[in-house]
Amino acid sequence: MKQTAIYLKRAAIALMLGSFGCVIAFEVIGSSVAEDGTLVEPFFLIPLAWLLFLTGGMLAIATFIIGRFKSGSAT
C-alpha cells in the first residue's frame, strides 16, 4: 500500500504542476487581435488547467483519506 500511496501522491503533484504550467503558458503566449478583427488566444489551456487542477486535488484528497483509514489513526 505504501508504494501505491507514493505513486498516487506523485500523480497528484504532477497534475497540479501541469495545471500551473497551463496557466503560465496561457499568460506567456498571450492574446492578440488578428487583421480581420478575430481574437486569437490559446483558450484550450484554461479548461485544461481547471481539469488538471481539480483532478489532482481530488486525487490528493482521496490519497489522504485512504492513507488515514489504512494507517488506523482515523477515529
Q: CB count, 10 Å around CB of 46?
A: 13
Is the full-model pTM beyond 0.85? Answer: no
Sequence ranges of the domains in the chain:
11-61
pLDDT tens for residues 31-50? Answer: 999 999 999 999 999 999 99
* CA distances to 24, 43, 59, 67 from 9, in Å: 23, 29, 8, 11
What span, in angstroms and rounded, lies between the C-alpha atoms of 62 and 72? Answer: 16
Could you tell me the pLDDT band of residue 61, with boundaries at 50, 70 and 90?
very high
**Residue length, the chain?**
75
- The answer to whether 53 and 16 are in contact (CB under 8 A) is yes
